Structure 1
Amino acid sequence: MEVKVSKKAKLPTRFGDFIIQSFNYKDKDHLCIIKGEIKEKMNIRIHSECLTGDALGSLKCDCREQLEYALKYINENGGMVIYLRQEGRGIGLFNKINAYALQDEGFDTLEANLKLGFKDDEREYSLVEFILEYYNIKEVSLLTNNPQKLKAISKDVKRVPIIMKENEFNKNYLKVKECKMGHML
């Protein structure tokens, strides 16, 4: 696995003061946002990029709320947010917008991906294993509702629920995540 690792830098945010480090893998720059000392046992959030939610505040998902919750939790309890550049469950921003258009026509989030010729979830988590090894992390308290993320970690892992309230725009999205993807909501 060919990964380039940047130097560490300070990252003051509205959630607290963190350390940031980038991992370049498959020509994409992924991030680790760290609070406190790196230990063998860490609180971790694996967050996949969601430009529409994270940066633009889209109400069609719960991504921004989960990221903000994780940053607050990590600021208070120490740990790391691993921010993976896997937009739209790994199909990229262009295809995600096309999936949004299909959702506007009545398809759910998974049906839209399938109609575009993708699997329901194209993300992969091999870089997470590299990062855990890089920092010598042996035990993980993972902030997630996603069973795929729990399965992706070969270390000793326990789940920390990260449940967000639904709104009128993401109600069906959350139902699909729970009923069709097995998310623990």
Structure 2
Amino acid sequence: MTDSDGIHLDGSHSTGVDRVANVRLSTEYGEFLAVGYLDRNLGHEQIALVYGDVEGEGVLTRLHSECLTGDAFGSRHCECGDQLSAALTAIASEGRGVLVYLRGHEGRGIGLLAKLRAMQLQAEGLDTVEANLALGLPADARDYRVAADMLHDLGVRSVRLLSNNPDKREALLRYGIDIAEQVPLLIPPREENLAYLLAKRERFGHHLPHLDPVVAP
């Protein structure tokens, strides 16, 4: 028997993912094991980049939401591409860690085209939350169950979470992954993304103390 979060009464965990492939992936950050998963619930294809032996406790871990504009095109509207690069660098330097790349999270879960429409509204003066709501969409529609399922499958029991987002921490705890530490992933702001970062801090409670000197009177 399991509870509503998929936790068995004996303390083990059921998962909603199938591991489909394991392949060595040589990158500019080092050689990772790319582990491909199918999310049985949503049908999304997911990937975890694994560096070293990650079974056990205190694994340096990044849950990275898909962001085509930032990750692939280097958009300065957000800090996503820089965070992806910094996280992979940190994991390789640590010698042990996991980056879970979450497809289906584009635009905090609203999709690519809706995200582009929201960016249009932001250019007209709305903040990132107001823009999503103006489109009749959630401010943040992401769910992290699949990330926890992937970590359980990899044998990760607790993480040092590379994130400024309190929601990721709470979600992993809810789905049975312990948090040994929350490690800030602070990217220097740019003129183009300062308003976006401030909205993330003020509207979502992201821990971004490095913005204080930038906005101080």
Question: TM-score, structure 1 length as denominator?
Answer: 0.97
- Structure 1 unpaired stretches of 5+: none
User: Is residue 80 of structure 1 aligned with residue 98 of structure 2?
Assistant: yes
Question: Which one of the candidate residues 1, 16, 30 is aligned to 2:46?
Answer: 30
CA drift of 1:3 comes to 2.3
Post-superposition shift, 1:76? Answer: 1.0
Question: Alignment RMSD, CA only?
Answer: 1.0
2:185 corresponds to 1:171: no
Structure 1 equivalent of residue 159 of structure 2: 140
Deviations 1:96-135 (A, max 9, x none): 0110111111111111001111111000001122112212
Aligned residue identity for 2:23: A
Alignment-derived partner of residue 120 in structure 2:
101
Does the 8 Å CA contact 2:21/2:37 hold for their aligned counterparts? no
Aligned to 2:5: none
* CA deviation string 1:47-81 (max 9, x = no partner): 00000000000000000011000000011111000
Question: Is structure 2 residue 137 aligned with structure 1 residue 123?
Answer: no
Write the mapping of 1:149-164 to structure 2, written as runs, cut at 5 A. 149-154=168-173, 155-157=177-179, 158-164=181-187
Contact kept? 2:16, 2:146, Cα under 8 Å? no
Unpaired segments ≥5 residues, structure 2: 1-14, 209-217
1:10 aligns with 2:24: yes
Distance across 2 between alignment mates of 1:156 and 1:125: 14
Please identify the structure whose Cα radius of gyration is greater: 2
Q: Aligned equivalents of 1:56 and 1:62: distance in 2?
A: 12
Whichever residue aligns with residue 183 of structure 1, its letter is: H
Is residue 47 from structure 1 mapped to residue 61 from structure 2 by the alignment? no
Question: Which stretch has the larger CA shift, 132-141 or 74-83?
Answer: 132-141
How far 1:24 moved relative to its partner?
1.5
Give the 4+ runs in structure 1 shifted more than 4 A.
Answer: none
- Number of residue pairs matched? 185
Please name the residue that 2:213 is paired with: none
Which moves more between the two structures, 134-143 or 164-173? 134-143
How does the TM-score come out when normalised to structure 2? 0.83
The separation in 2 between residues aligned to 1:71 and 1:147, in whole angstroms, is 21
Match of 1:71 among 78, 83, 88: 88
Q: What is the DSSP-based 3-state SS (H/G/I as helix, E as strand, rest coil) of the residue aligned with 1:110?
A: helix
SS in structure 2 of the partner of residue 6 of structure 1: strand
1:180 aligned counterpart, secondary structure: helix
Q: How many angstroms apart in 2 are the aligned matches of 1:110 and 1:130?
A: 28
Shift of 1:2: 4.0
